[in-house]
Amino acid sequence: MAVYDYPWRSNLFLECLRDCTQSFPHKLGLYGTLSGLINVRRKEAAAEIVASSAAAFSDALATGNWMDARTALRFLGELANANVVSVSSLAALLKQILDEVSSMTASPARADQFANLVISALPWCAATIRRSAPAELEEIVRRISGHVESRRQAGRHLGLAALRPFRAELAEDGAGLPYEQVDELEAIWRQVSGLADEDWKAQLLHRPHESFDDKLTTASPHDLPAIQIREETPETRYPDQSVPLVIFDDSVNTGERSTTLVSLPPLNSPSRYIFCTLISDLLSILAHNHHALHISIAALPEYLDRARWQLEFWQPTHAAVEVVLREALKLPSPTQPLMFYATALGDLFRDQNMVTEAGPALGRAVRTLWERSALGLDVELSRRLAELLAVHLSNFGYQWTWDRWTEQLRRLPSHSIQVTFVRELVERCLRLAYKERLLDETLPQNWKDEDIAVKVLPQRWESADEGWRYGPKGDVEDERLKELATELVNALRSKKPGTAIKGIFDAIREHIRAKLGHEANEVAHWDGDTQHPSWDADADSVVRDVFAQAVMVVGCKSLSHLAMIVERSRAVWNDLFTSDLARAQLMTSLASFFRFRPQLLEIWCGRLINYRVLSVESILAWSLSPDHLNRTEGADPTPWYVLETTLRKVTLRRSQADERVARARDQVAFNQKRRDVGDGDFVYDENGNKFDGLTGPITSGETAAQREVQEAEEEVERMTREQKQAFLSVLQRFVRIITAKISETSMEDVDIERTPWWRWVYGFMRQIGREFGPEIRTFAKTLEITVFAEGDVDSRIMELWGELSAFYDAKIV
């Protein structure tokens, strides 16, 4: 569109410009210079651009879209560079934003967010402000420094304890971290304040406006319109000032060009900030289109000062790998599903411009994290990394330098975090591949040696039903019982009626009673009663076990089989598994049947909760059983998988109930709308269907809608109660087992905080508290009274609760 078309197409032009600036943050320099050239030819058009860009900034502030606000402010900086916006008005805007930082009424989160906005804009505009108004820049920097200093004094620069990737207290051998762990604001200020050494001119940024300076200066700049910053309300939310994970710190990034595998600017340099912030912005902005994302990342160097990064041998791809992993491993949770980061990472390997650098960089990053995991990496991050890497490897034929781990795997104990990482990685890969592909064709053959195999290779059964205790390979020795069990399986398969199945149950009970009676007679002279209460209990428990396992044999063929068999035998389930004890037993049967198929165990638990056969409580009891945790030092991932899946299920149910209420209320509101328009008029529903207005008596549809609202609200109430009960129970159980362990080890003179048990169990408690924060925080007060009552609970547990409470109190999106 030629500039001559502007008067006729100004809306289109402004929309496109706004969309492009917000979609391609790395091209702001070009858009700024283009606006400058327009300013030379058409001043009124440039005035509209300024108004539109300022509106973009204030819109983003008003809607709490901090990402857009940051980009819009940077663009205003570029407009000042191109002489479209007057420097004084830009400086005034920055100072207006800093007023929010120093405001007495602003919450700490708000102050940090507004400081973040200004710091993020400085690399783009500081040089211009310094040239025209050095005193203004000095004041801005002084005010930011003041804020940062006050945070340091309050200890806030270390970030929320619950969100730190590395936990110093878990470090083995007391080794410290290779870099200082600080929160995001502190980290970026350390980087951006380095601009002072570059005369406030970010060297890495490409400055197209400099090529046109003689032209651009012929036009006169515009003042920014006044921008209203909306006051903080209780609903305002801010992005978390997380503690960013650094992978390639200066100790990894040695700078010896001939030998190093990573080549990036030093950690606390403005150039590193520019690389990382642009890539992380692209990851957020283009998450909806990963193809465009990797094209933009690959093209990023073109929009930076090529001479600069090539001279230093910096590799943008290394920064991309670091940022993708950092974002994926963000606490409390990544912004997008983990799958997005796996895809984004894979794309770096599919892009011909990046593939040669991406491989070594990923290898180096994972090895660095793996080696450092012993320095106290949060357990959740270790698991997330394994999951991410497994998906990545499944896209690239599982090619990995597995061999490099062999020696350490031999040496390290099986419950160490490094071995557990490899075990989880193998397990996750196995779930995506078929067994032979991984175990026979991919992993090093010496991993089949006894000493490594027991640590990392999951035991697998050939077929799902090999866990069948009453089958030919089962561990039950009672032949008659096996026969009856097989009969039951056949009855279930051939859809025999309930009476036939109950007949088999009776036969089993009879057999067990007879057997127990016979044994008792042999051991002692029994008093001759015809029935013995404990034998009945035993007989019932055998019936339950046989039935549960029989259902699993029939249902394990596929999930559809499972659904079918559970539906068909619903009446029997309801008869057999009525008590808590019976349900706990069902969970034990399930876990035993699928002990080498953790994925199926997870899926089955989820399904059986849905069918209300299995209770949440019984799964929690199994997952957090002290015996199992003690036996495996908490390093067996299966109970944690199951626990997480169950809690997610509980949360999902609640959100589904919420949706049902919302739908029902919408329907009632729509009916009311039809009543309001009355006869002869019509309204449209959200799908565009036309409905006539309503008059006369209440219709059955309206009554049904009202009833639905009532029922849905009751369901929400029920689900909320259930959810609260589940989280209360899980935290109670954690407190109980940790307290028991503390008192147990206090006798043995062991520092419990240095044990693997502590790392896993205490770490998972933190993970659950963090992951389900939105749910738990709604009844934090109840928890404080019931579970975390001061004085009753060990100080270390209270410390963790303190961490979590601080996290819940922070106003985080």
Partner 1 sequence: MRRQGTSFHVRAIAQGVHKPDSHQNTAAIPHTMAAVPSLALPSSYRDRRNRRFNNDAEWQRALSGSTTLYVGNLSFFTSEEQVYELFSKVGEIRRVIMGLDRELRTPCGFCFVEYYTHASALACLQFINGTKLDERIIRTDLDLGFEEGRQFGRGKSGGQVRDEYRNDYDAGRGGYGRQLEFYADAGEAPMGADQYGGVGGWGGGQWGGGGGAEYYRGGERLFVCWQIPTDRMSVKVAVAVAVESDHVISIRQTGVVMGLQENGREMTK
Q: Which of these ranges, 175-183, 251-259, 308-316, 386-394, lies near partner 1 under the rule CB under 8 A?
A: 386-394
669 is a contact residue toward partner 1 (CB under 8 A): no
Q: Per DSSP, what are the bridge partners of residue 82?
A: none
395 is a contact residue toward partner 1 (CB under 8 A): yes
Shortest Å distance, C-beta 99 to partner 1: 25
d(CA 499, CA 502): 5
Shortest Å distance, C-beta 604 to partner 1: 11
432 is a contact residue toward partner 1 (CB under 8 A): yes
User: Contact at 8 Å (CB) between 300 and 26?
Assistant: yes
Q: For helices 498-523 and 533-555, give the axis angle rounded to 10 degrees.
A: 130
Site mask for partner 1 (CB under 8 A), range 59-98, x = bound: x---x-----------------------------------
Q: Per DSSP, what are the bridge partners of residue 304?
A: 205
Q: Which of these ranges, 7-15, 203-211, 253-261, 443-451, lies near partner 1 under the rule CB under 8 A?
A: 7-15
Q: Which of these ranges, 187-195, 374-382, 392-400, 514-522, lies near partner 1 under the rule CB under 8 A?
A: 392-400
Q: Is the peptide bond before 360 cis (omega within 30 degrees of 0)?
A: no
What's at 341, amino acid-wise? Answer: Y
673 is a contact residue toward partner 1 (CB under 8 A): no
What H or E segment, with its residue span, contains residue 692?
strand 690-692
Q: Which of these ranges, 197-205, 425-433, 611-619, 700-708, lies near partner 1 under the rule CB under 8 A?
A: 425-433
Q: Which position among 79, 98, 127, 433 is part of the footprint of partner 1 (CB under 8 A)?
A: 433
511 is a contact residue toward partner 1 (CB under 8 A): no
DSSP for 330-376 reads -SS--SS-HHHHHHHHHHHHHSTTTHHHHHHHHHHHHHHHHHHGGGT
Q: Which of these ranges, 14-22, 137-145, 205-213, 804-812, lies near partner 1 under the rule CB under 8 A?
A: 14-22
Q: Which position among 179, 200, 248, 340 is part of the footprint of partner 1 (CB under 8 A)?
A: 340
d(CA 540, CA 578): 12
Shortest Å distance, C-beta 645 to partner 1: 9
560 is a contact residue toward partner 1 (CB under 8 A): yes
User: Contact at 8 Å (CB) between 314 and 271?
Assistant: yes
11 is a contact residue toward partner 1 (CB under 8 A): yes
Q: Which position among 131, 156, 290, 673 is part of the footprint of partner 1 (CB under 8 A)?
A: 290
391 is a contact residue toward partner 1 (CB under 8 A): yes
Three-state SS string over 190-218 comes to HHHHHHHHHCCCCCCECCHHHHHHHHHCC
> Tokens standing for 478?
């009672």
Shortest Å distance, C-beta 365 to partner 1: 20
- Quick one: 123 or 346, whose CB is closer to partner 1? 346
Shortest Å distance, C-beta 338 to partner 1: 6
User: Contact at 8 Å (CB) between 66 and 112?
Assistant: no
Q: Which position among 177, 287, 374, 500 is part of the footprint of partner 1 (CB under 8 A)?
A: 287
Q: Which position among 686, 748, 749, 790 is part of the footprint of partner 1 (CB under 8 A)?
A: 686
Q: Which of these ranges, 20-28, 37-45, 577-585, 799-807, lies near partner 1 under the rule CB under 8 A?
A: 20-28
Site mask for partner 1 (CB under 8 A), range 583-612, x = bound: ----------------xx--x---------
Q: Which position among 175, 652, 662, 704 is part of the footprint of partner 1 (CB under 8 A)?
A: 652
227 is a contact residue toward partner 1 (CB under 8 A): no
Three-state SS string over 715-780 comes to HHHHHHHHHHHHHHHHHHHHHHHHHHHHHHHHHHCCCHHHCHHHHHHHHHHHHHHHHCHHHHHHHH
Site for partner 1 in 42-61 (CB under 8 A): 48, 52, 55-56, 59
Q: Per DSSP, what are the bridge partners of residue 684?
A: 690
- Quick one: 304 or 562, whose CB is closer to partner 1? 562
Shortest Å distance, C-beta 296 to partner 1: 9
Shortest Å distance, C-beta 805 to partner 1: 29
Q: Which of these ranges, 260-268, 388-396, 699-707, 771-779, lies near partner 1 under the rule CB under 8 A?
A: 388-396
User: Contact at 8 Å (CB) between 223 and 86?
Assistant: yes
CB atoms within 10 A of CB 539: 23
> Tokens standing for 89?
């008005």
d(CA 16, CA 184): 32
Q: Which position among 241, 277, 394, 625 is part of the footprint of partner 1 (CB under 8 A)?
A: 394
d(CA 213, CA 205): 16
Q: Which position among 194, 221, 346, 637 is part of the footprint of partner 1 (CB under 8 A)?
A: 346
d(CA 616, CA 717): 17
Three-state SS string over 6-34 comes to HHHHHHHHHHHHHHHHHHCHHHHHHHHHH
What H or E segment, with its residue span, contains residue 691?
strand 690-692
- Quick one: 148 or 293, whose CB is closer to partner 1? 293
Shortest Å distance, C-beta 519 to partner 1: 42
Burial class for 3, CB neighbours closer than 10 Å (0-12, 13-18, 19+) = middle
d(CA 483, CA 332): 52
Q: Tokens 């063929």 map to which residue?
A: 557
User: Contact at 8 Å (CB) between 274 and 192?
Assistant: no
Site mask for partner 1 (CB under 8 A), range 748-787, x = bound: ----------------------------------------
Residue from 635, 557, 566 nearest 379 by CA:
635
Q: Which of these ranges, 407-415, 681-689, 755-763, 797-805, lies near partner 1 under the rule CB under 8 A?
A: 681-689
- Quick one: 226 or 339, whose CB is closer to partner 1? 339
Q: Which position among 131, 156, 215, 431 is part of the footprint of partner 1 (CB under 8 A)?
A: 431
Shortest Å distance, C-beta 358 to partner 1: 16
Task: State CA 62 to chain mean position distance.
Answer: 27
228 is a contact residue toward partner 1 (CB under 8 A): no
Q: What does each C-alpha distance from 435 to 414, 462, 553 come to in angstroms?
A: 22, 9, 21
What's at 649, amino acid-wise? Answer: K
d(CA 80, CA 74): 10
- Quick one: 287 or 453, whose CB is closer to partner 1? 287
Find the length of the chain.
Answer: 813
- Quick one: 257 or 288, whose CB is closer to partner 1? 288
265 phi, psi to nearest 5 deg: -60, 155
Q: For partner 1, how many residues bind (rule: CB under 8 A)?
A: 57
Shortest Å distance, C-beta 303 to partner 1: 15
Q: Which of these ranges, 238-246, 373-381, 506-514, 552-560, lies near partner 1 under the rule CB under 8 A?
A: 552-560
Shortest Å distance, C-beta 60 to partner 1: 9
> Tokens standing for 676?
């309001």
Q: Which position among 175, 339, 571, 669 is part of the footprint of partner 1 (CB under 8 A)?
A: 339
Q: What does each C-alpha distance from 684 to 416, 665, 672, 673, 690 come to in angstroms?
A: 62, 17, 13, 10, 5
Shortest Å distance, C-beta 556 to partner 1: 11
299 is a contact residue toward partner 1 (CB under 8 A): no
d(CA 140, CA 95): 7
245 phi, psi to nearest 5 deg: -80, 130
Helix, strand, or coil here: 642? helix
d(CA 336, CA 290): 12
Q: Which position among 43, 142, 237, 291 is part of the footprint of partner 1 (CB under 8 A)?
A: 291
Contact footprint for partner 1 (CB under 8 A): 10-11, 14-16, 18-20, 22-24, 48, 52, 55-56, 59, 63, 286-292, 336-340, 342-343, 346, 387, 391, 394-395, 397, 428, 431-434, 558-560, 563, 599-600, 603, 648-649, 652, 656, 684, 686-688
